[in-house]
Copies of this chain bind each other. A is one copy, B any other.
């Protein structure tokens, strides 16, 4: 029987050119759970979020005020926020709001941060938002204005930034157009979504360079990579080297994209933390506590986590 020293690893060897600290924008509770078929009780979601916070995650998206008709899983958004109390408030507990009706409900719940969900392509705007790209920007305009007036922090997600299942390749100039339109509404942060996971490192650099040319620097940009083609972590590393310091990730790798063939979805927070721990980049996260959280959540959902780190550390 071997002595197991693997938990003494990863060996810490700094990588020059990375930011000293990375903000992990944890999406497991919202993006991770939204496509779960059987509804997770609000109490379980609240415990999940409480455990994520205890693991050291500082920015946690809690839920979405999307119509319960469209996403029954998130119909309990108000209940969940009641359950969370103060832990669900503040600028680092955003909720997704798809439109003004969602914003009304979010405001009733007393949240201090919201995220809107736009598109980089015409086709996805039509399929997901039921309107043209230009019309979707107009739909978001009063959402962002009213959020800002209420003193909220506002994030703009942009989907299909690295490929679109209907349109195929998307020129970076068109992605940048969509990003600029949303940020001009007055958003604080942009999240570049590789919704179907097809992006690769050169593409990441090219898009970030185009955004920089258009006045959107990496200080206002987060990245949101999916691991459908195994590229999420190397794309993230590439973005970090280009100056990005906000990375979306989902504890346990929860979640998938309904528009991609494979069930494999979000970058697992644990796999990201392993890399950053090794590189000496601060995240504030205790990896062992996080793995225990994923293991607990996997039991609630009745299936194993797809995170490689969780499998390696918890699957002993």
Binding site for B on A (CB under 8 A): 2-6, 8-16, 18, 127, 162-170, 172, 196-203, 205-206, 227-231, 233-234, 236-238, 259-262, 264, 268, 271, 274-275, 277-280, 307-309, 311-313, 315-316
Contacts and interface: CB of A to CB of B under 8 A. Distances in A.
A231 B233 contact: yes
Given A198-B11, A200-B274, A201-B275, A230 B229 contact: no
A234 B5 contact: no
Given A11-B198, A203-B10, A237-B234, A2 B166 contact: yes
Given A233-B234, A264-B311, A200 B10 contact: yes
Given A200-B279, A203-B278, A274-B200, A261 B5 contact: no
A216 B271 CA distance: 31
Given A198-B10, A278-B201, A230 B168 contact: no
A200 B234 contact: no
A230 B197 contact: no
Contacts of A2: 127, 165-166, 259
6 closest Cβ contacts across the A-B interface?
A: A200-B278, A15-B202, A5-B168, A230-B271, A230-B308, A8-B168
Contact of A13 (B9, B127, B200): B200
Contact of A202 (B13, B127, B199, B259): B13
Given A3-B165, A9-B198, A15-B200, 5 more contacts: A6-B163, A9-B196, A230-B307, A231-B274, A234-B236
A6 B165 contact: yes
A255 to B, nearest CB: 15
Nearest to A162: B11
B202 A279 contact: yes
Nearest to A281: B202
Given A237-B201, A237-B234, A316-B261, A229 B196 contact: no
Contacts of A6: 163, 165, 168, 196, 198, 260-261
Contact of A238 (B15, B165, B268, B271): B15
A15 B238 CA distance: 10
A4 B165 contact: yes
A169 B229 contact: no
